[in-house]
Chains A and B, each alone.
Chain A
Amino acid sequence: MMPSDESAAALQVADSKAAAPAMPQTVKVEKTIGLPAIGFCVTQGEAATTLFVGMSDFAVHRIDMAAEKIEAIPIGQERHNSYVTGLVRAGDKLVSGGYDGALIWWNMASGEVIRRVESAHSKWVRMLAVSPDASRVASVADDMTTRLWDASCGDLIATWNDYEIKTPHGFPSMLYAVTISRDGRWLATGDKTGIVLVRDLATGQIAARLETPIMYTWDPKARRHSIGGIRALAFSNDSAMLAVGGMGKVGNIDHLEGSSRVEVFRWQDNVRLYEIEDNKLKGLVEALHFGPGDAWLAAGGGDNSGFVTIYRMDDGKLAAQEKVGSHVHDFVFGTSPDTVYAISHNQAAIIKLT
């Protein structure tokens, strides 16, 4: 998913700074493409215009965004046994994770399955991240474990169990988000109750613990449950900042009616730089990416409809935003950060930042 692609996206940023807007003033949906199912996660192939998308039809699809006729085509013959919710590229391989608890290593070119780890997690895999050198893949799941895998062969390297299995109110917790910093040193994870842990990827030692309790959205009286949680994480390109995405306080948790919420930390000092809430385009923030030079932060998400929003990182204010047809689950930058490929509910969108 999006943080897992951060390394790839960041590399593109470095390669194409000249094409990137210093500070986007507008966000505009240029084109939408229908998808055969719900798209949950996206990563890119050798060409930034080649997308691989994990979907609700249990398959990983390939989409050539530069083609005259853009269509989603399942790779290979095999599928997960449930929604595909995590996807990264590690060199010439793809690694996918799903609600079936499985991880699958794919030959990116042929779609052939190289390795399938059926019980990678005992509950639903929520997200994957890949190290910049493509040697490690991290997975998080609702068994509340973070696991580190050898990206080349699929062997398990480490398991971390630092999160509570249950929420403070006694219900099953969920471990939604994971990302790895661009320098490959730090791994961050975020759970349903708003706890962020940053650990040293080499040693496994926890380096920081941050809290974003508002994102928990527990409703103690009217409905007695919660639907929030940390859904997105992104390190800045210099690894100094960590952006956390979710939803703010919500009056009616039957719907995603809470303000979209981003908190940005100077994480090594446990200093919250920005606490950003948007009441205009509401709902969950599902994906975050820093722009070139960390001047801005792009957020994607939504309620029943979707959004892409740009926040300035000099003051945390909104710079530009646009409504996208349906709830954005993930996005990546194109050949340069002036293009965003957003994956959403039965739809992909090409979005221009100017």
Chain B
Amino acid sequence: MASNISGLGPQENGLSRRRFLSAAAAGVTAGSVADMTAIHGLRSEAMASELKKQNKRVILLWLAGGASQFETWDPKPGAKTGGPFRAIPTNVTGIHISELLPELAQRMQHTAIIRSLNTKIADHGTGADLMECGRVPDPGVKYPDIGAVVARELGRLESKVPDYVSLYTSTEGRRKGTSGFLGARYSPMFLSESMTPANVVRPDIISEIDHHDRAALRDVLAKRFTTARRNQAVNSHMSAYQRVHGLMASADLFDIEREPESVRNRYGSSQFAQQCLIARRLVEADVPFVKVARAWWDSHGQNFETHQELCADLDHSMSVLLDDLAERGLLEHTLVITLGEFGRTPNINASLGRDHFASAWSCSLSGAGIRGGVAYGKTDDEGHRVVEGEASAGDLFATILAALGIDHQHEYMLGSRPIPLADFGTNPIREVLA
């Protein structure tokens, strides 16, 4: 992508260089190579600063493989396509969801359901690309995913915690996430083998004392160096080192043993629940974007058995997460999203499964910037198509950004090419916004 960033102005180059230095140091720890290649177009720095002060955060609960809208947010009891489960009333009059989500049904005041996604792509890889990036993949541009965009927009240069953390410890459908043209600075810290990041842990061969002594020596030398050479680049380099130490210190955030037993018990023992607890710890520590992926909803066979199992996990884990965030005063600042690459077919196949389906499906948004207690959009009686409020992946992307107070039409300049945060022609769904 480096070839696409010609024509930067002096100020922009300065910004890029500073961020490059910061990212390069962080990249040493993260084991990646920074390549800051994109910048903002015109926008008030004051506005950007104000946005970051609002401390908005996102937890994306990624339902990998594609959950069924019939067994979650858009039940059709009694329809030929409806399956065996009932719809149950929620604590918001007029809104019913699947009986497989009884705990979430009592927390609908926090949540807006979108029942009218028509995203057209029903292939795992491309569908995930679409839903994560809010636009159809373009061979000429590597778009950043929603996590990278939020990290870019809400993360702080001086932050000592990661901007984007992605937990995905199942192997099926594992996706690392992409920062695209935003560069490695906004790539996720990706946890795929354990729930604790391995690459921010101090190597055993260096003792804690040695570690601190080395840092102290570096600080002494650095201060002597900067006293004689005061400029922005050197300051930025110093900041980057502080960030590296911050990232190392952040390993504790992944250690749920540091939570009281009562809190751990409340979340429960499933891996997904424990990762939701980690997500809460991370947003509490100002990590702007955390993705928790739960595999594997791809229920071509035994859809109803699969959803009985996985919905129970989602229902409990997400309910505790919402409660915990609310009790800590974090929910008004934290947007909790349930989303996957697509939904599931109305037709029930001979294995009692549902196949891939992207023409009429659902997601949910809870918390920050969201008008809770709303069910937006409508599908027909058997769930074959959207009949009201059709929304695209780009519209959802724009809605998420709007809920966070980010202008979805704001443009990144990739060289001379303006690229809006949300795709051209997309609009936030105002009905679900607070």
Which residues of the partner chain A approach B351 to less than 8 Å between Cβ atoms? Answer: 255-256, 283, 303-304, 327
**Contact yes or no, A254 B308, CB < 8 A:** no
Also in contact, A345 and B170, with CB within 8 A (given A171-B309, A224-B271) = no
Which residues of the partner chain A approach B84 to less than 8 Å between Cβ atoms? Answer: 56, 82-83, 98-99, 124
Q: Which of chain A's residues has its CB closest to B172's CB?
A: A222
Contact of B302 among A98, A172, A227, A344 (CB under 8 A): A227
Which residues of the partner chain A approach B294 to less than 8 Å between Cβ atoms? Answer: 224
Q: Which of chain B's residues has its CB closest to A58's CB?
A: B78
B195 to chain A, nearest CB (A): 13
Which residues of the partner chain B approach A98 to less than 8 Å between Cβ atoms? Answer: 84
Asked whether any CB of chain A lies closer than 8 Å to the CB of B295, the reply is: yes
**Contact yes or no, B86 A254, CB < 8 A:** no
Also in contact, A82 and B85, with CB within 8 A (given A222-B296, A304-B350, A304-B351) = yes
**Contact yes or no, B171 A221, CB < 8 A:** yes
**Contact yes or no, A327 B350, CB < 8 A:** yes
Which residues of the partner chain A approach B32 to less than 8 Å between Cβ atoms? Answer: none
A69-109 interface (Cβ within 8 A of B):
81-83, 98-100
Which residues of the partner chain B approach A99 to less than 8 Å between Cβ atoms? Answer: 84-85
Asked whether any CB of chain A lies closer than 8 Å to the CB of B409, the reply is: no
- The distance in angstroms between the C-alpha atoms of A224 and B313, with both chains bound, is 11
- The distance in angstroms between the C-alpha atoms of A256 and B295, with both chains bound, is 17
**Contact yes or no, A226 B170, CB < 8 A:** no
Which residues of the partner chain B approach A256 to less than 8 Å between Cβ atoms? Answer: 301-302, 351
B282-302 interface (Cβ within 8 A of A):
294-296, 298-302
Also in contact, A170 and B269, with CB within 8 A (given A38-B348, A99-B84, A254-B296) = yes
Asked whether any CB of chain A lies closer than 8 Å to the CB of B352, the reply is: yes
Asked whether any CB of chain B lies closer than 8 Å to the CB of A131, the reply is: no
**Contact yes or no, A171 B306, CB < 8 A:** no
Q: Which of chain A's residues has its CB closest to B305's CB?
A: A227
Contact of A225 among B86, B296, B348 (CB under 8 A): B296
**Contact yes or no, A172 B309, CB < 8 A:** yes
Asked whether any CB of chain A lies closer than 8 Å to the CB of B310, the reply is: yes
Best-buried of A172, A227, A256, A302 by chain B (most CB within 10 Å): A227
**Contact yes or no, B312 A171, CB < 8 A:** yes
A-B contacts at CB below 8 angstroms, number = 95
Which residues of the partner chain B approach A221 to less than 8 Å between Cβ atoms? Answer: 170-171
B237-279 interface (Cβ within 8 A of A):
268-271
Also in contact, A224 and B308, with CB within 8 A (given A82-B86, A327-B350, A327-B351) = no
Also in contact, A255 and B170, with CB within 8 A (given A223-B296, A227-B305) = no
Convert A168-183 into 0s and 1s, putting 1 for each residue whose CB lies closer than 8 angstroms to a CB of B: 0111101000000000
B161-219 interface (Cβ within 8 A of A):
170-172
Which residues of the partner chain A approach B49 to less than 8 Å between Cβ atoms? Answer: none
- The distance in angstroms between the C-alpha atoms of A304 and B353, with both chains bound, is 9
Which residues of the partner chain B approach A222 to less than 8 Å between Cβ atoms? Answer: 170-172, 295-296
Asked whether any CB of chain B lies closer than 8 Å to the CB of A142, the reply is: yes
- The distance in angstroms between the C-alpha atoms of A38 and B350, with both chains bound, is 9
Which residues of the partner chain B approach A152 to less than 8 Å between Cβ atoms? Answer: none
Asked whether any CB of chain B lies closer than 8 Å to the CB of A239, the reply is: no
B316 to chain A, nearest CB (A): 10
**Contact yes or no, B296 A224, CB < 8 A:** yes
Asked whether any CB of chain B lies closer than 8 Å to the CB of A305, the reply is: yes
A157 to chain B, nearest CB (A): 27
**Contact yes or no, A223 B172, CB < 8 A:** yes
Asked whether any CB of chain B lies closer than 8 Å to the CB of A253, the reply is: yes
- The distance in angstroms between the C-alpha atoms of A326 and B349, with both chains bound, is 10
- The distance in angstroms between the C-alpha atoms of A255 and B349, with both chains bound, is 11
Contact of B268 among A170, A302, A344 (CB under 8 A): A170
- The distance in angstroms between the C-alpha atoms of A174 and B352, with both chains bound, is 16
- The distance in angstroms between the C-alpha atoms of A81 and B268, with both chains bound, is 32
- The distance in angstroms between the C-alpha atoms of A226 and B170, with both chains bound, is 14
A148 to chain B, nearest CB (A): 24
**Contact yes or no, A172 B308, CB < 8 A:** yes
Asked whether any CB of chain A lies closer than 8 Å to the CB of B65, the reply is: yes
A146-170 interface (Cβ within 8 A of B):
169-170
Which residues of the partner chain A approach B313 to less than 8 Å between Cβ atoms? Answer: 171
**Contact yes or no, A255 B350, CB < 8 A:** no
B320 to chain A, nearest CB (A): 14
- The distance in angstroms between the C-alpha atoms of A44 and B312, with both chains bound, is 37
B357 to chain A, nearest CB (A): 15
**Contact yes or no, A254 B350, CB < 8 A:** no
- The distance in angstroms between the C-alpha atoms of A305 and B301, with both chains bound, is 11
B116 to chain A, nearest CB (A): 26
Which residues of the partner chain A approach B305 to less than 8 Å between Cβ atoms? Answer: 174, 227, 229
Which residues of the partner chain B approach A254 to less than 8 Å between Cβ atoms? Answer: 65, 296, 298-301
A20-44 interface (Cβ within 8 A of B):
37-38
**Contact yes or no, A81 B170, CB < 8 A:** no
**Contact yes or no, A100 B171, CB < 8 A:** no
- The distance in angstroms between the C-alpha atoms of A302 and B84, with both chains bound, is 20
- The distance in angstroms between the C-alpha atoms of A3 and B86, with both chains bound, is 27
- The distance in angstroms between the C-alpha atoms of A78 and B298, with both chains bound, is 35
B355 to chain A, nearest CB (A): 10
A222-264 interface (Cβ within 8 A of B):
222-227, 229, 253-257
Best-buried of B85, B296, B352 by chain A (most CB within 10 Å): B352
- The distance in angstroms between the C-alpha atoms of A38 and B304, with both chains bound, is 14
Which residues of the partner chain B approach A57 to less than 8 Å between Cβ atoms? Answer: 80
B375 to chain A, nearest CB (A): 22
**Contact yes or no, B350 A326, CB < 8 A:** yes
**Contact yes or no, A170 B172, CB < 8 A:** no
Q: Which of chain B's residues has its CB closest to A225's CB?
A: B309
Which residues of the partner chain B approach A124 to less than 8 Å between Cβ atoms? Answer: 84
**Contact yes or no, B270 A170, CB < 8 A:** yes
B147 to chain A, nearest CB (A): 22
Which residues of the partner chain B approach A283 to less than 8 Å between Cβ atoms? Answer: 351
- The distance in angstroms between the C-alpha atoms of A268 and B320, with both chains bound, is 46
**Contact yes or no, B306 A227, CB < 8 A:** yes
Which residues of the partner chain A approach B270 to less than 8 Å between Cβ atoms? Answer: 169-171
Which residues of the partner chain A approach B172 to less than 8 Å between Cβ atoms? Answer: 222-223
Which residues of the partner chain A approach B352 to less than 8 Å between Cβ atoms? Answer: 38, 327, 345
A123 to chain B, nearest CB (A): 9
Which residues of the partner chain A approach B80 to less than 8 Å between Cβ atoms? Answer: 37, 57
Q: Which of chain B's residues has its CB closest to A169's CB?
A: B270
11 contacts between A and B (CB under 8 A): A56-B84, A81-B77, A82-B77, A98-B84, A99-B85, A171-B309, A174-B308, A222-B295, A227-B302, A229-B305, A254-B298
Apart from A82-B86, A255-B301, A345-B352, what are 11 other A-B pairs with CB-CB below 8 Å? Answer: A37-B80, A56-B348, A57-B80, A172-B312, A222-B171, A223-B172, A224-B295, A227-B305, A254-B299, A256-B351, A327-B351
Q: Which 9 A-B pairs have the closest CB atoms?
A: A223-B296, A99-B84, A345-B350, A83-B84, A227-B302, A256-B301, A222-B172, A326-B350, A254-B298
Residues of chain B having any CB pair with chain A under 8 Å? 65, 77-78, 80, 84-86, 170-172, 268-271, 294-296, 298-302, 305-306, 308-310, 312-313, 348-353
